[in-house]
């Protein structure tokens, strides 16, 4: 659409309509053919649809409908309740033939039926619910258009319009938009003026809900009539019970918070605050200079600054930008000590210039964060009600804030702007460096709980003395390794607490006695962990590896995945080969989803770590590692596990990684959650992930001893073909038509 006319471009009012109706909100699952329409995946598992692609496909569908000379030859169908009213409204506006409700099988194929029809184009609301007309359309070579959600199958669909086809408002808006564009292309209505038909007329409403609303309105009217009459003087007891209402025009001070948004706003705001400080004689550390006099009685001073408990003065402002480098200028400026870290809000590394990309939801997740910080600056007096919850009143000194945002008593655990995953000497951490790791005696769970009193249920921990430098989820695949699990918990909890992280430990248990699948369990753990919280970092941790140096910080690198277990005693404290990615690795949620997670087809021991190393390279990322002296791990000795025998097919699967990584991973993950328990030391998740489809007696080609490393090197050094985007879909062709 880059060469399209300006009149065909998506307008701002159209985008606002899409967002208000939730058109961009997909499901928690995604079909591999719908990946090309996905913009991102939220932490709760919801996929966000690219509205730019939605608009392009909407215009393409409208052109296809206009190309049909007789409007009645266009058949529009919806079996679901939410689409029946929009379909009827669309047909009334464009002259199409509607089928709202049950579709009679054979309508397009059985000529002896009374309802037999021969349309030239078919438009359906949901490929799943309307699968019967789509199937019959394929028999008679009938072109098809469909409103498709992220998990909709595209079989027999020629033009897929990506959108939320579940919600009543989204479905109604899409049919309204389609009708409007069809009428515009036909010349029936002008693009210069808005369409007089409101989109609300296309929305489905449940008759039972309408009846309830009418009944509530009638009861409200009756109640109002009962109290109508002439009032004289109110009763004395009524007058005495009325509280005094504060007059905002006098006696109560309103709070004024400055919000600086965007690159220009942040830069201008930073310059303005430097000027304000010079005018009021405030030094870079927030204190008054020796020659300056305190002017707290000045209205402008109390408007711009708040005084903290230690006598410093802090700007009443919030700096917001999606690009971290813009706000980093404030963090590194002359008056950087004036701003608490919570007053400086940034987005992700790749969120800059979202307007040019056509994605208007990139900064939406920051809105609540900005409002929360404004409340912390503006709210003043804190009281407690009978239940013990905080009640904010107005006004009071800044020391009484529910969160000490205006004071330096609770700084971040990791001050500074540079990211340093394995150099904690600059930070105020409690790390000690090399630590002693012992395998005996094996502590009991009760002893570990007693040793970690601040760990909350589910294995959650958050430092009380400062803001954590990272929110890290530790994901441990597990089965029949209770001895190893207790050793890991015994060493890992204090290890992470010394690093002042907010963390949670997830133990993913494979149900049954089938062949073990470590990679699929990691995918399950990532999905379940992201449903709990928006973690900054995901640590994929083997249960038998214990860290030996707490300078190896359990934080992620925003530039790419990290392989943390660099030096293990099993390999003589050296890296076995350059592309090794096993043991313990760290990725941000975005990095994990960018490479489609771990493969699901590796049943048994071996191969999945080499597969993921290849995925990192194919996704355009590079692996980073801490120094060898820091990334030390000791492996707990153990015998081979029953059900985790060597995978004879691992090299066959590795050869296919280059072509299969976009189909096998998080987007194809299926499992049944059997149990979710919040234990005192970890969150235990038990899942049924299925069984090895090859069966226990299957066998693959046997490779001679010593060939594994040579084969890995040969396979990992192959250069992948140039593919656009993080999840290439060039090889995915639809069975029927183009999408």
Give the range among 233-247, 431-445, 646-660 with minimum mean pLDDT: 233-247
Decide whether 6-202 matches 258-400 in CATH topology: yes
Band of residue 374 on the pLDDT scale cut at 50, 70, 90: confident
Is the pLDDT at 493 greater than 60? The verdict is yes
Residue 254 has pLDDT above 80, yes or no: no
Q: What is the pLDDT of residue 227?
A: 45
CB count within 10 Å of CB 173 equals: 25
Average model confidence (pLDDT) for the chain?
75
Task: Report the half-sphere exposure of 735 (CA within 13 A, side-chain side).
Answer: 7
d(CA 120, CA 306): 70
Q: What is the pTM of this model?
A: 0.44
Note the pLDDT of residue 295.
47
- Architecture label for domain 444-691: Alpha-Beta Complex (3.90)
Q: Please give the CATH superfamily to which domain 6-202 belongs.
A: Glucose-6-phosphate isomerase like protein; domain 1 (3.40.50.10490)
Cβ count near 381 (within 10 Å): 13
| pLDDT for 234 | 47
376 vs 674, higher pLDDT: 674
Q: Residue ranges per domain, the chain? A: 6-202, 258-400, 444-691
Q: How confident is the model at residue 627 (pLDDT cuts 50, 70, 90)?
A: confident
Asked which of 121-125, 325-329, 421-425, 451-455 is least confident by mean pLDDT, the reply is: 421-425
* pLDDT tens string 11-70: 888 888 899 889 999 988 888 889 899 999 888 888 999 999 999 999 999 999 999 989
726 pLDDT band, cuts 50/70/90, is very low
Tell me the CA distances in angstroms from 77 to 105, 133, 175, 382, one per residue in order.
Answer: 13, 8, 11, 57
- Note the pLDDT of residue 511: 83
Query: Which conformational region is residue 585 in: left (phi greater than 0), alpha (psi within -120 to 50 degrees), or beta?
Result: beta
Q: For residues 241 and 633, which has the higher predicted lDDT (pLDDT)? A: 633
Look at residue 365 and tell me whether its pLDDT is greater than 90.
Answer: no
pLDDT at 395: 37
Percentage of the chain beyond pLDDT 90 is 19
Rounded Cα gap, residues 259 and 371, in angstroms? 10
Q: Residue 207: which pLDDT band, with cuts at 50, 70 and 90?
A: low
- Report pLDDT digits (tens) over 273-320: 788 787 777 877 777 766 554 444 455 666 677 776 566 777 888 888
- What contacts 658, CB < 8 A, 6 or more positions away? 614, 618, 718, 720
- Token readout for 454 is 């601040």
pLDDT of 96: 92
Calculate the alpha carbon distances from 509 to 38, 248, 484, 524 in Å.
31, 59, 14, 10
Q: How confident is the model at residue 425, as a pLDDT?
A: 41
328-332, 356-360, 448-452, 645-649 — most confident range: 448-452
Distance in angstroms (rounded) separating the CA atoms of residues 159 and 147: 9
CATH topology for the 258-400 domain: Rossmann fold (3.40.50)
pLDDT of 503 over the 50 cut: yes
- What is the per-residue pLDDT across 512-540, written as a single tens digit (0 to 9) for each? 777 888 888 999 999 999 988 889 999 99
Helix, coil or strand: residue 259: strand
Among 645, 647, 559, residue whose Cα is nearest residue 611: 647
Q: Rounded to whole angstroms, what are the CA distances from 13 to 10, 20, 194?
A: 8, 10, 11
DSSP state of 243: P
Please report, for residues 234, 235, 236, 420, 457, the alpha-carbon distance to residue 240 in angstroms, rounded to integers and kept in the order given: 10, 9, 6, 64, 49
Confidence of residue 404 (pLDDT cuts 50, 70, 90): very low
Q: Is the pLDDT of residue 108 over 70?
A: yes
In this predicted model, what pLDDT tens digit does every residue of 118-129 receive, in sequence order?
899 999 999 988
Judged against a pLDDT cut of 70, whether residue 231 lies above it is answered with no
């Amino acid at each position: 659409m880059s060469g399209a006319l300006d009149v065909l471009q998506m307008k701002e009012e159209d985008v606002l309509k899409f967002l208000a109706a939730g058109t961009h909100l997909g499901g928690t699952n995604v079909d591999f053919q719908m990946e090309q329409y996905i913009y991102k995946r939220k932490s709760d598992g919801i996929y966000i649809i690219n509205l730019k692609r939605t608009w392009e496909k909407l215009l393409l569908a409208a052109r296809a409908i206009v190309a049909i000379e007789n409007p009645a030859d266009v058949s529009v169908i919806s079996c679901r309740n939410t689409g029946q009213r929009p379909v009827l409204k669309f047909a009334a506006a464009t002259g199409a033939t509607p089928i709202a409700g049950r579709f009679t099988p054979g309508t397009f194929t059985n000529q002896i039926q009374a309802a037999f029809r021969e349309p030239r184009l078919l438009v359906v609301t949901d490929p799943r619910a309307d699968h019967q007309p789509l199937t019959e359309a394929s028999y008679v070579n009938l072109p098809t258009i469909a409103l498709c959600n992220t998990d909709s199958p595209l079989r027999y669909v020629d033009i897929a319009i990506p959108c939320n086809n579940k919600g009543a408002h989204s479905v109604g808006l899409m049919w309204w938009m389609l009708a409007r564009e069809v009428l515009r292309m036909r010349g029936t209505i002008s693009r210069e003026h808005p369409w007089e038909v409101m989109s609300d007329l296309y929305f489905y409403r449940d008759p039972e809900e309408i009846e309830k609303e009418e009944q509530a309105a009638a009861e409200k009217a009756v109640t109002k009539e009962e109290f109508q009459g002439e009032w004289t003087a109110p009763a004395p007891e009524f007058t005495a019970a009325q509280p005094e209402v504060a007059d905002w025009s006098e006696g109560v001070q309103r709070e004024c918070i400055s919000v600086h948004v965007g690159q220009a706003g942040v830069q201008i705001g930073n310059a303005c605050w430097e000027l304000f400080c010079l005018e009021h004689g405030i030094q870079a550390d927030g204190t008054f200079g020796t020659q300056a006099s305190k002017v707290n009685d000045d209205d402008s001073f109390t408007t711009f600054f708040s005084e903290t408990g230690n006598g410093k003065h802090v700007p009443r402002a919030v700096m917001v930008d999606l690009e971290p480098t813009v706000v980093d200028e404030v963090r590194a400026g002359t008056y950087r000590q004036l701003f608490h870290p919570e007053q400086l809000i940034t987005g992700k590394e790749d969120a800059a210039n979202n307007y040019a990309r056509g994605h208007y939801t990139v900064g939406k997740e920051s809105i609540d964060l900005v409002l929360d910080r404004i409340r912390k600056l503006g709210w003043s007096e804190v009281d407690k009600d009978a239940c013990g919850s905080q009640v904010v009143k107005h006004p009071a000194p800044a020391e009484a804030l529910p969160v000490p945002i205006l004071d330096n008593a609770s700084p971040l655990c990791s001050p500074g702007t540079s990211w340093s995953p394995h150099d904690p000497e600059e930070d105020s951490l409690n790390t000690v460096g090399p630590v002693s790791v012992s395998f005996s005696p094996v502590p009991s769970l009760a002893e570990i709980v007693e040793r970690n009193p601040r760990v909350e249920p589910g294995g959650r921990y958050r430092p009380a003395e400062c803001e954590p430098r990272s929110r890290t989820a530790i994901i441990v695949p597990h089965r029949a390794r209770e001895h190893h699990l207790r050793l890991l918990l015994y060493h890992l909890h204090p290890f992470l607490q010394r690093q002042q992280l907010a963390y949670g430990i997830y133990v993913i248990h494979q149900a049954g006695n089938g062949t073990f699948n470590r990679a699929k369990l990691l995918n399950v753990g990532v999905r379940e962990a992201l449903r709990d919280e928006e973690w900054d970092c995901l640590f994929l941790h083997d249960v038998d590896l214990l860290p030996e140096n707490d300078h190896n910080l359990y934080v992620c690198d925003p530039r790419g995945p990290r392989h943390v277990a660099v030096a293990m005693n099993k390999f003589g404290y050296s890296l076995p080969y350059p592309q090794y990615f096993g043991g313990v690795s760290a990725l941000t949620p975005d990095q994990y989803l960018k490479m489609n997670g771990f493969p699901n087809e590796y049943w048994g021991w071996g191969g999945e770590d080499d597969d993921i190393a290849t995925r990192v390279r194919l996704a355009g990322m590079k692996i980073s590692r801490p120094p060898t002296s820091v990334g030390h791990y000791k492996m707990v000795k153990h015998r081979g596990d029953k059900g985790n025998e060597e995978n004879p097919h691992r090299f066959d699967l590795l050869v296919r990684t280059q072509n299969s990584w976009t189909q096998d991973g998080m987007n194809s993950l299926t499992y049944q959650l059997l149990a979710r328990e919040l234990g005192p030391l970890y969150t235990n998740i038990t899942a049924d992930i299925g069984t090895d489809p090859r069966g226990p007696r299957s066998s693959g080609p046997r490779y001679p001893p010593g060939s594994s490393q040579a084969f890995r090197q040969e396979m990992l050094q192959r250069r992948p073909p140039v593919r656009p985007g993080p999840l290439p879909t060039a090889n995915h062709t639809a069975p029927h038509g183009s999408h």
